[in-house]
Chain A
Amino acid sequence: MRDLADRLLTYEAGAGKASEPMEFATLRVYGKLRQSLGEFVGVAGFQSLASRALALAKPEAPSLSETQVSGDGALHGLGEIETQIDMNKDVAGEGGIILIARLLGLLRLFLGEALTLNLLRNAWPGEVIDNHNSAHGRST
């Protein structure tokens, strides 16, 4: 799921301004997931998934140590810490990729790959989801 998370972040980074920090792209991916999954699983359902994904991601990404998921499923504190740790854009985006990959990984775990990808197609163009050169299902 890391490849897929990477593609989604790259796509959203391309959709924003070149100068903006990488965490903006992370927040946009997260926001789209929150919207499309929230409709499907409800606010509480998404909040549960997101907080679990964050708990799984934190040990791998110190930059997420202060990040929190609020009761309505919103993500707080992502940009601030990343910026403090490292200004290098590639490194700064790492925490976001891990968080999104973990969230997608949970979806795949519960729903299976086919259904997860179908749900994502609702929020992103098919070519971003179906990158046949990438290894689908690679573990994060």
Chain B
Amino acid sequence: MSTEDKVKINKLPTGVPGLDEIVGGGLPEFSFNIIAGAPGSGKTTLAHQFVFANATPERPALYFTVLGESAIKMLRYQQQYTFFDPAKLPDSIRFINLSQVVLERDLGAVLKEITDEVEKANPAVVVVDSFRTMVRKPQSDMELQSFIQRLALFLASWQATTFLIGEYAEDELRDNPIFTVADGLFWLRQTPERNSIVRKLQIIKLRGQDSVPGLHTFRITDAGVQAFSRTFGLSGHLKDPPSHRRLCFGIPELDKMLGGGVREGDSVLVAGSSGTGKSVLATQFIAEGIRQGEPGIVAVFEERPQAYAERATTLGLDLETPQKVGKLKILYLRPLDLSVDETMHSILDAVQKIGAKRLVIDSLAGFEMALSPGFRADFRESLYRMIFALTGIGVTILSTVEVDESFTEFPFSTYSISFLTDDIIRLRYVSIDGQLRKIMVVIKMRGGNHAKDIREYEITDKGVVILGKRLTNYQGLISGIPVRSDRPDSKEEPSLDTGIEHKI
């Protein structure tokens, strides 16, 4: 069958930010869907958002309430959400209470009541809340299956997109006929993880179109449910072709060590112990970008944006003006129950708003601490998804990471995330001539030449300043306790590596 011969299934907006992307562009029109989950998981709110997004006076929504939350209380609370438009009631959205017929009569009478109302109103959307209570009375499996089958057939024939809401447990998935009949199955969960509550949404089933698999975090705010796709809304985005452009730090000697700068779209890791100047280097990277006309984002977790900007001023870097003119955004992401997906949403939103080319994450340890405990366990996987998504749209990411200083080892990161980064710059202390001095080395640059030199540097009121040439009169520098050799310091320019990737 050619593409033209196939029936085109319209996709309806879910009214839930982020959910359209997760369900593959919108909810299939005339589909018969279940929203399942425990009490308080957001089922009713999600259904309301869909209803308010799609109901019109010509094709209204019928919202059948059964036993459970009364319509008065439901509307009292739901109208607190910003999506709730009272003008839509009752012409576009009608609430119909079925408690009496459910209590006093059989499923046949319930079906008759629903079909009568649907035939009268010609609705585009039908919601039954809660369907579980509607079918709770004892009845045979066959009777229940027949009721569900007839209801699904009728509502689809009457061109209604349907949501049945129910408090189902996951072990019911196998035996309950409702899940077989449904075209779409949305499962909402909220699970306590230490002191945090994490809400997750899973599209267990969606006929006719590709949904993004897996568990997606969501949040309920005064705007209702907001979902955060695991692919960060970038699943349809083709990775930009690799750029050959180099992005400078504005530190001439370091840029030379990097073979002209880091490649655009790279993920750079600056690793070092406390006080080695990771944040200073990151600030210089972002400031140089702004100087070159490349807007930037700084995601800070350990200090307030104001303090971050003030510290930059002491290095002679003005971060206030670019913030005012929309070239720089300093994001403070500190809540302790964030998911990576929410963080990504904030970052992506900022990236798109100002067209950011450079992103600094300062630091990965702070980022990890800001996450809900459950997400910390998946931190590496989450970072992978985030870095892949951001570099895919051409953003160059510089992350700082604190490593424990050891005088016997030379670790690159406490997170074992070196594989996630294209380039690694390692900063460390060394003990030389009775002083604790600092050295810098470029460990890795994926697909590019870089210097093998170990260089000494200082942090001055101009930021990171690299001193002299490479240190050739010491051996064992990376141990932190070098031994003086007889060779004088090098006067040569940095020698560049071939760019062959080292296994780290």
Contact = CB atoms under 8 A, between A and B. Distances in A.
Contacts of A118: 86-87, 89-90
B498 interface: no
B71 A40 contact: yes
B71 A115 contact: no
A45 B90 contact: no
A115 B100 contact: no
A98 to B, nearest CB: 21
B72 interface: yes
B97 A115 contact: no
A18 interface: no
Contact of A115 (B73, B89, B98): B89
A125 interface: no
Interface stretch (A7-15, A53-61, A106-114): A106-114
Interface string A29-54: 00000000011111111000100000
Contacts of A110: 72-73, 75-76
The majority secondary structure among interface residues of chain A is helix
Sorting the interface of chain B by its residue count into under 10, 10 to 19, 20 to 34 or 35 or more gives 10 to 19
Contact of A112 (B71, B86, B90, B97): B86
Contact of A40 (B73, B76, B97): B97
Contacts of A38: 97
Contact of B79 (A41, A44, A115, A121): A115
Contact of B97 (A45, A114, A119, A121): A45
A17 to B, nearest CB: 30
B454 to A, nearest CB: 69
A89 to B, nearest CB: 33
B316 to A, nearest CB: 56
A41 B90 CA distance: 13
A122 interface: yes
A43 B96 contact: no
Interface in B64-123: 65, 70-73, 75-76, 79, 86-87, 89-90, 94-100
B86 A45 contact: no
Contacts of B96: 39-40
Contacts of B86: 112, 114-115, 118
B86 to A, nearest CB: 4
Nearest to A44: B99
Nearest to A116: B86
Interface string A63-74: 000000000000
A114 B90 CA distance: 11
Nearest to A45: B70
Contact of B76 (A42, A49, A111, A121): A111
Nearest to B104: A43
Nearest to B80: A112
B89 A42 contact: no
A118 B79 CA distance: 13
A30 B399 CA distance: 68
B76 to A, nearest CB: 5
B87 A45 contact: no
B267 to A, nearest CB: 50
Nearest to A122: B90
Given A111-B79, A115-B79, A41 B89 contact: no
B95 A40 contact: yes
B235 to A, nearest CB: 39
Contacts of B87: 114, 118
A72 B41 CA distance: 34
Per CB-CB distance, the 6 closest pairs between chain A and chain B, nearest first, are A42-B97, A114-B86, A42-B99, A115-B86, A40-B95, A118-B89
28 contacts: A38-B97, A39-B95, A39-B97, A40-B71, A40-B95, A40-B97, A41-B72, A41-B95, A42-B98, A43-B100, A44-B100, A45-B70, A45-B97, A45-B99, A49-B72, A110-B72, A110-B73, A110-B75, A110-B76, A111-B76, A112-B76, A112-B86, A114-B86, A115-B75, A115-B89, A118-B90, A121-B90, A122-B90
Interface of A: 38-45, 49, 110-112, 114-115, 118-119, 121-122
Given A118-B86, A122-B90, 9 more contacts: A40-B71, A41-B72, A42-B97, A43-B99, A45-B72, A45-B99, A112-B79, A114-B87, A118-B90
